[in-house]
Amino acid sequence: MDFIRYAERSAALLNAGLADVDGLRAHLADREWLVEQCTDRDCMLLRKFQRELRPVFEASAADRTAEVVEALNELMVRHPITPRIAGHDGHPLHMHVATKSQSVAELLVGESLLGLANLVCDLGPSRLGVCAASPCTNVYVDTSPNQSRRYCSDRCSSRANVAAYRARQKATAAAS
Ligand SMILES: [Zn+2]
Ligand SMILES: [Zn+2]
């Protein structure tokens, strides 16, 4: 898997509802082999990781780029990553995360940090964002060429467009 997909999974992990293990299973629906291994402990550890990770996205969204780098470096000290070169299913060689404990939480945390660290090095530290369609607080990875992404999803984007349109209509009506 390439690092952009890891970074995007990291955003998806932060957006996932992990109140219970079913939430974690839903988040991993496209990775069947992991779904069976999810435990309550994974869920608890990942909720904690969500709290650690959100400030990274918030700092990037606010262009506090030094803070992004510092926070990611700190998280990599707290959660050491063991990268592993893998080749499978005809894909070119790429990085995986090796886990000692074999736990889903350790794997997802490692992938998340590896993806974000690579993203920051390759595309810069200002590529992470928080959805501008309040009250949505979802995060996203901006891989658009001109770095113009503002919303977590098409749904939030069209909701914001409708709101802006209504506001304009109201302003026009008030002016006439
Ligand atoms: Zn792979
Ligand atoms: Zn949103």
Confidence at residue 51, expressed as pLDDT on a 0 to 100 scale: 98
Q: Under 8 Å CB-to-CB from 52, ≥6 apart: which residues? A: 75, 78
Q: What is the mean pLDDT of residues 135-161?
A: 94
Band of the pLDDT at 1, cuts 50, 70, 90?
low
Domains of the chain (ranges, CATH numbers): 3-175 (1.10.3300.10)
Q: What is the mean pLDDT of residues 3-19?
A: 95
Q: What is the mean pLDDT of residues 82-106?
A: 91
**Among all ligands shown, which has an atom nearest to the Cα of 89?**
1
Supply the DSSP string of 35-92, one letter for each residue: HTT--HHHHHHHHHHHHHHHHHHHHHHTT-HHHHHHHHHHHHHHS--EEEEE--TTPP
Q: What is the mean pLDDT of residues 63-67?
A: 97
Confidence at residue 61, expressed as pLDDT on a 0 to 100 scale: 96
**Among all ligands shown, which has an atom nearest to the Cα of 138?**
2
**H-run or E-run covering 124:** none
Helices vs. strands in the chain: H and E counts, helices first: 7, 4
Query: Ligand 1 mean position to 96 CA, how many Å?
Result: 6
Q: Is the pLDDT of residue 22 over 70?
A: yes
**H-run or E-run covering 86:** strand 82-86
Query: Ligand 2 mean position to 140 CA, how many Å?
Result: 9
Confidence at residue 20, expressed as pLDDT on a 0 to 100 scale: 95
3-state secondary structure of 98: strand
Query: Ligand 2 mean position to 162 CA, how many Å?
Result: 14
Q: What is the mean pLDDT of residues 115-121?
A: 96
Q: Is the pLDDT of residue 82 over 60?
A: yes
**Among all ligands shown, which has an atom nearest to the Cα of 155?**
2
Output the average pLDDT for the chain: 94
Give the separation between CA 128 and CA 143, rounded to whole angstroms: 9
Query: Ligand 2 mean position to 129 CA, how many Å?
Result: 10
**Among all ligands shown, which has an atom nearest to the Cα of 95?**
1
Query: Ligand 2 mean position to 114 CA, how many Å?
Result: 24
Query: Ligand 2 mean position to 98 CA, how many Å?
Result: 32
Confidence at residue 100, expressed as pLDDT on a 0 to 100 scale: 83
Confidence at residue 142, expressed as pLDDT on a 0 to 100 scale: 96
Query: Ligand 1 mean position to 86 CA, how many Å?
Result: 6
**Which residues lie at CB < 5 A from ion ligand 1?**
1, 86
Nearest to 49 by CA among 111, 109, 114, 116: 109
Confidence at residue 2, expressed as pLDDT on a 0 to 100 scale: 79
